[in-house]
Structure 1
Amino acid sequence: MATPSDEMTKNITWRRFEDGQNKWDDWTDDIFNYDTSHKCPTYVHETPPCQGSCPSGHDVRGWLSIVRGIEKPTGEMSKEEYAFYRATESNPFPSMMGRVCPAPCQDGCNRNAVEDFVGINSIEQYIGDKGLENGFGFEAGKDTGKKIAVIGGGPGGMAAAYQLRRMGHGVTVFEAQPELGGMMRYGIPNYRVPRDKLSAENQRIVDMGVDVKLNTRVGKDVSVEQLENDFDAIIWAVGCWTGRALPVDGWEGTPNCVTGVAYLKAFNEGRMKVTGKKVVCVGGGDTSIDVVSVARRIGTNPAMPGNPEDVVNDNGMDQDEALVGGREPVDATLTSLFTKENMMAAEHEIHDAIHEGVTILDGVMPLEVIKGDDGRATGLKVCDCTMDGMTPVPVEGTERVLEADIIVAAIGQGGDLNGLEDFDNGRGLMDTTNNYQLKDKPNHFAIGDIVRPHLLTTAIGQAWVAAESVDEFLKGEEIKKRPKVDVHHFDLLEKLHEAGLDPAEFDPNAGDQRGTSSANYAVHNYEDRSFAEIIGPDELFLGHFEVTPRHKRPEDVPSADEVLGHFKERMQGLDDETAQQEADRCMSCGLCFECDNCVIYCPQDAVYRVPKAEATTGRYVATDYARCVGCHICHDVCPTGYIQMGLGE
């Protein structure tokens, strides 16, 4: 019976070759051809693109494999605990980052070549929340006697403290704000970052023996010279706390023209209860989305004394709680130079903001702040624009004025190095080497936004690199060059050790030792290329994977009519079953996930499962080279690209 034409477009199957591109008509010809190649399978570990795309170098594939039940812990440890410790090798904030990271890992996911990425962020949140529920903690390493000062208690600074304590170094964190958290606390609203979980993830690091000095600004309350006398090394993680001004006429000196950093800080400190009736924000990134989403939630109140910018510009001002009772909805407008599909904000954040009643004007550029007789802004003059690279080009005849009680610029951030002028590179930032060591101050290191404003996870990844650099510096070693693919790699030898399967001691005097396929002093036919290569979808057998829709975590996103006063957490977590189902969509790119294709399809029975007592992740199958004829079928049907024809001539 013929297949209906409409059925042929559904559930598309993927093959290694397109029609007309296959070299042989049948597998028999294929086998006999490759039988003369003299090449046999070897097992090659490569880095998956999710991990290669992650600025913190997360072993994403590893903890997904644990959640799905393929890689199993030894002893009495639960898989939840095992996944937690694997995830926190690189990032001690899985609960937070699972909620707010824009997830470049998901953009890089090879599953996008099948249908849709794996929900990596949702499973990271699941792992982090399980860690908090079960009270999983961290242990410090053996004391080295060395002391490091970390300046800044945000995600970068606390991640550096965590990595340094694991190495056994003493750490003191100096934080200018009243609480730890940095931009996770003062720059992101509480409905995106629940404060109890943020505090718990920070406290878990403090409990490792980290000394914390709050309300202490280095360069003001304590001098750099004092730190240099008291500590063996210093890591600067001070972040960027000044917003960029809008580069248009009328901005400078206008009181109700404020930055997104200041606006969100006033809200996150609990000081700003209501805002202006008409809020216009210029941006396009996640910060601008937060500004307009906050404005829609807190609303306005006609009884508000003074002006809406007063609480933003005065760090000591706290609006009366009574204003909450009579608040009314506000008009919140976001303008972006780029169209929605090219905005820097995450796609779901843009969608959520529109659902909440925010007006987004994309492809629009600001021209001038319009002011009244009292010197305050009454509106923002804008026009449509096209983009020539990163330069907006105005469209003539499209000028108009957006009425505004308060105008917010969320177009970038800069450093505040008052009292630290010797460290300023002239742009309000610090210059470092690739290992985050200051170029002219060898015992000083810097990470995070103060080096280059970027993602929270970027600061966390830099903290790991800087901690290793500090450790090498304190040992008097040369700070090593980082690998091409600088991530937390799966280590087969470490995995074998964990499973009690360490290779035997090598005896160089044991006689003829040519060939190691049966010798247990070597890990035979295995090659680790993860330090140099990221595996792409063209190296996978995509036909193995069925189209499986993503299991999305529920979100509490209010409508425009419900948003006023709505501060419930947005991202809801996955349950155990759904988390496992979503993790099971991972294609384990670059590492075996025990599908048995190579064993089933090998015509010579040359590929076999390693005996269970000797098997572990990465050593599930092996090859009997006395049987192998080099037909390449195992390579062709390996879904993950782990088998490559590398042995022989």
Structure 2
Amino acid sequence: MATSPDTMKVHTFRRYEDDDFTWSNMQDKIFLEDTSYKCPTYIQKTPPCQGSCPSGEDIRGWLQIVRGIEKAPAGMSMQEYAFRRSTRANPFPSMMGRVCPAPCETGCNRNDVDDFVGINSVEQYIGDSAIEGGFSFNPPEAMSGKKIAIIGGGVAGLAAAFQLRMMGHGSTVFDDHEELGGMARYGIPSYRVPRDKLDAEIARITDMEGVEVRTSTRIGRDVSVEELEKDYDAILWTLGCKNGRGLFVDNWKDVPNAVPAVNFLEQFNSGKMNYTAPKVVCVGGGDTSIDVVSVSRRIGTLADYNEKPEEVVYGREVHTENPANKVPAEVTLTSLFAQDQMTAAEHEVNDALIEGVTILNEVMPVEILVDENGRGVALKVVECVMEGSMPKPKEGGKETIIEADLIVSAIGQYGDLDGVEDFDNGRNLIDSDQFYQVPGKPGHFAAGDIVRPHLLTTAIGQASIAAESINHYLNNEDQVKRPKVDKHHFDLMDKLREAELEPVAYEEAKADDLRGTQHAKFAVHNYDDRSEHEIVASSELFLGHFEKVDRHLRTEDVPNSEQVIGHFMERVNALAEEQVVEEAGRCMSCGMCFECDNCVIYCPQDAVFRVKKAESTTGRYVDTDYDRCIGCHICADVCPTGYIEMGLGG
């Protein structure tokens, strides 16, 4: 969890203490003053926000664009340029800016100064601006003629369709629902992901020529695997996990009104459940459980409720009316963990409490109490402790009986592989290797929750790698070892080409004497891209450069317990554009120059200089005159971003 500014100490950052006058690192120690052969080299590294992002977004890049440091090409707005940079990795910025739990913010180096950069809020702005601006994707016109079957139309399948189309390959997305979106549509309530935003981001993908869609079609029932293998050049399994795990109590399967959370949420999100039971208990602690209890409070119940709530949850009945005379449901959430250790986002937990949900922490279910008809009437829980990853009843722990008309399990999910059992690894999931190929089944690939249930951003990242692997497969190319930091990195050569500054051909520019070639135009000199191998830590930054700047917080529309029934307004409100630009300006640009001029100002030899304006672009703002440099190390010491290291320049 990111550091709260309320608990941060006020630091006075100093790179060196008094009386420190020798290098602690032996490698540095042997190079001193004018005897040094080391000069500043400019090293691009991965920032920890990107290193923490499972979909590998170039977060630093689009923050630099929004704040105005990296300029858009002529004729393109800042908003569109940021959108195009963001969607190289993630085609759903509007949705993910709202619901991603933001491991990037936890990893942000700014936590060691004051508080993380509000990355999600900037991403939401980028996504919403793209929808308002009508931005579309620009896939290559040339098509490979190859076509991939994608089984599952959630974020993994749609992200893969996007990535494959940008590589020139067509696809057909199969889904057994009436609409695409997977868990984003059927698992997340509309007050967290507005459906107009979700629909727009899906349509942007499916509107691309070469991307086809077949909904209400189940593989293994309506279409066989053999047919897919005959008609398509590769198959990608992105089925997701839409079966919920039951509680680990003896009579779970025998209690009719004990149901999985995924079924509960699907019926609500499909518009088929307008109210629920008077007393609802949900066991979980993650975001799914928060959605269950928040939905239960919003839809309420009936004063004269006499239905069997599981009939609606399992789709055997449908609510055709939405009565106005609803009353609040009594809703309880139980979790194995203390409140500050729950896996749900902290603000989601706090919102649920405001909405009137009762939360019992550090308790485990031990028994469902039933009546003479076998229906659950209460859940017995006991105080517990965690031993490794398993809960154990606390010795002498207090037991609590929670009355319930509906008991919901939100403790995990697994895949529905009926009809395609040959792919089941015995755990209702599909195995894959490091390239997301299905072992022993050439031409088959898998990504998303069906490989390992996790975050939406994880599914998007896996889809990107799987698409790359499919591209290698279709081109009969050997797979190479993946880089240590497998991300969508800023590419200096792409930026130089965009600015018409790319190096000339070697044969055209080389000289007879290749010594002292720093002025030659056939290479990018004095620069190294280590972003595939290194994540820059805060210890490599000059943190003293950064003043404390409060984070811009998005406001939330959270109803209290008396306002909650029928409250479906969007929960998180967007920042204004001015606030978004200021928030992006809090980015410390870890591992990349952000044009602060410290190295130029503090160089005692005037050896570090700004590149001529006509030759300057992001990543090539400063250079070094080797005839002047004495290797004093000052430029590296005062570089706020860790972009400068002392090395053998060239």
- Please confirm whether the aligned pair reaches a TM-score higher than 0.5, indicating the same fold: yes
> Within 5 A, what are the aligned runs for 1:556-567?
556-567=557-568
* 1:621 is the counterpart of 2:622: yes
Which amino acid letter does the alignment assign opposite residue 338 of structure 1?
F
Superposed displacement of residue 105, structure 1: 0.4
Aligned to 2:409: 409
Aligned to 1:4: none
Conservation of the 8 A alpha-carbon contact between 2:244 and 2:410: yes
> Residues 304 and 10 of structure 1: is their aligned pair in 2 closer, same or farther, counting only changes over 3 Å?
closer
Secondary structure of the corresponding residue to residue 309 of structure 1 = helix
> Within 5 A, what are the aligned runs for 1:31-50?
34-50=33-49
Paired with 2:341 and 2:495, the residues of 1 have a C-alpha distance of 42
Aligned to 1:255: 256
Superposed displacement of residue 53, structure 1: 0.6
Aligned to 2:171: 171
Summarize deviations over 1:610-649 as a string: whole Å, max 9, x none.
0000000000000111111111110000000000011279
Superposed displacement of residue 33, structure 1: 5.0
Paired with 1:577 and 1:322, the residues of 2 have a C-alpha distance of 41
* 1:541 is the counterpart of 2:542: yes
Conservation of the 8 A alpha-carbon contact between 1:279 and 1:405: yes
Superposed displacement of residue 383, structure 1: 0.9
Aligned to 1:453: 453
* Structure 1 unaligned regions, length at least 5: 1-8, 25-29
Paired with 1:442 and 1:582, the residues of 2 have a C-alpha distance of 47
Which amino acid letter does the alignment assign opposite residue 74 of structure 1?
P
Superposed displacement of residue 603, structure 1: 0.8
Paired with 1:59 and 1:87, the residues of 2 have a C-alpha distance of 7
Superposed displacement of residue 357, structure 1: 1.3
Superposed displacement of residue 492, structure 1: 0.9
* 1:56 is the counterpart of 2:17: no
Aligned to 2:477: 477
Paired with 1:520 and 1:322, the residues of 2 have a C-alpha distance of 71
Superposed displacement of residue 10, structure 1: 7.7
> Residues 388 and 397 of structure 1: is their aligned pair in 2 closer, same or farther, counting only changes over 3 Å?
closer
Give me the TM-score of the superposition, normalised by structure 2: 0.95
When structure 1 is superposed on structure 2, of 351-360 and 146-155 the one drifting more is: 351-360
> Residues 462 and 597 of structure 1: is their aligned pair in 2 closer, same or farther, counting only changes over 3 Å?
same
Summarize deviations over 1:404-459 as a string: whole Å, max 9, x none.
11110000000110000100011101011111111111101000000010111111
Give me the TM-score of the superposition, normalised by structure 1: 0.95
Aligned to 2:4: none
Runs of 4+ in 1 over 6 A off after TM superposition: none
Summarize deviations over 1:63-98 as a string: whole Å, max 9, x none.
000000000011100010000000000000000011
Paired with 2:19 and 2:279, the residues of 1 have a C-alpha distance of 61
Conservation of the 8 A alpha-carbon contact between 2:274 and 2:322: no
Conservation of the 8 A alpha-carbon contact between 1:272 and 1:311: yes
Conservation of the 8 A alpha-carbon contact between 2:283 and 2:333: yes
Aligned to 1:500: 500
Which amino acid letter does the alignment assign opposite residue 320 of structure 1?
T
* 1:491 is the counterpart of 2:491: yes
Conservation of the 8 A alpha-carbon contact between 1:258 and 1:407: yes
Paired with 2:183 and 2:18, the residues of 1 have a C-alpha distance of 52
Paired with 2:605 and 2:283, the residues of 1 have a C-alpha distance of 65
Conservation of the 8 A alpha-carbon contact between 1:250 and 1:370: no
Superposed displacement of residue 520, structure 1: 1.4
> Residues 279 and 628 of structure 1: is their aligned pair in 2 closer, same or farther, counting only changes over 3 Å?
same
Paired with 2:143 and 2:37, the residues of 1 have a C-alpha distance of 54
Aligned to 1:571: 572
Superposed displacement of residue 20, structure 1: 6.5
Superposed displacement of residue 503, structure 1: 0.6
Secondary structure of the corresponding residue to residue 334 of structure 1 = strand
> Residues 10 and 483 of structure 1: is their aligned pair in 2 closer, same or farther, counting only changes over 3 Å?
closer
When structure 1 is superposed on structure 2, of 108-117 and 136-145 the one drifting more is: 136-145
Secondary structure of the corresponding residue to residue 204 of structure 2 = helix
> Residues 277 and 76 of structure 1: is their aligned pair in 2 closer, same or farther, counting only changes over 3 Å?
same
Aligned to 2:234: 233
Which amino acid letter does the alignment assign opposite residue 374 of structure 2?
G
Superposed displacement of residue 38, structure 1: 3.0
Aligned positions, number: 634
* Structure 2 unaligned regions, length at least 5: 1-7, 24-28
When structure 1 is superposed on structure 2, of 489-498 and 411-420 the one drifting more is: 489-498
Aligned to 1:364: 363
Conservation of the 8 A alpha-carbon contact between 1:415 and 1:428: yes
Secondary structure of the corresponding residue to residue 301 of structure 2 = coil
Paired with 1:228 and 1:603, the residues of 2 have a C-alpha distance of 67
Aligned to 2:26: none
> Residues 95 and 603 of structure 1: is their aligned pair in 2 closer, same or farther, counting only changes over 3 Å?
same
Superposed displacement of residue 349, structure 1: 1.1
Which amino acid letter does the alignment assign opposite residue 101 of structure 2?
P
Paired with 1:518 and 1:140, the residues of 2 have a C-alpha distance of 37
Superposed displacement of residue 302, structure 1: 2.6
When structure 1 is superposed on structure 2, of 33-42 and 421-430 the one drifting more is: 33-42
Which amino acid letter does the alignment assign opposite residue 526 of structure 1?
Y
Which amino acid letter does the alignment assign opposite residue 243 of structure 2?
T
Superposed displacement of residue 322, structure 1: 3.9
When structure 1 is superposed on structure 2, of 204-213 and 554-563 the one drifting more is: 554-563
Aligned to 2:601: 600
Superposed displacement of residue 305, structure 1: 4.6
Paired with 2:511 and 2:38, the residues of 1 have a C-alpha distance of 29
Superposed displacement of residue 34, structure 1: 3.5
Paired with 2:303 and 2:378, the residues of 1 have a C-alpha distance of 19
Aligned to 1:27: none
Conservation of the 8 A alpha-carbon contact between 1:41 and 1:632: yes
Aligned to 2:523: 522
* 1:320 is the counterpart of 2:304: no
Aligned to 1:201: 201
> Within 5 A, what are the aligned runs for 1:78-97?
78-97=77-96
Secondary structure of the corresponding residue to residue 138 of structure 1 = coil
Paired with 1:309 and 1:520, the residues of 2 have a C-alpha distance of 71
Which amino acid letter does the alignment assign opposite residue 203 of structure 1?
A
Aligned to 1:5: none
Aligned to 1:266: 267
Q: CA RMSD in A?
A: 1.7
Aligned to 1:339: 338
Summarize deviations over 1:133-178 as a string: whole Å, max 9, x none.
0000012221111111111110000000011111111111111000
Superposed displacement of residue 397, structure 1: 4.2
Conservation of the 8 A alpha-carbon contact between 2:41 and 2:649: no
Aligned to 1:423: 423
Conservation of the 8 A alpha-carbon contact between 2:278 and 2:305: no
* 1:100 is the counterpart of 2:99: yes
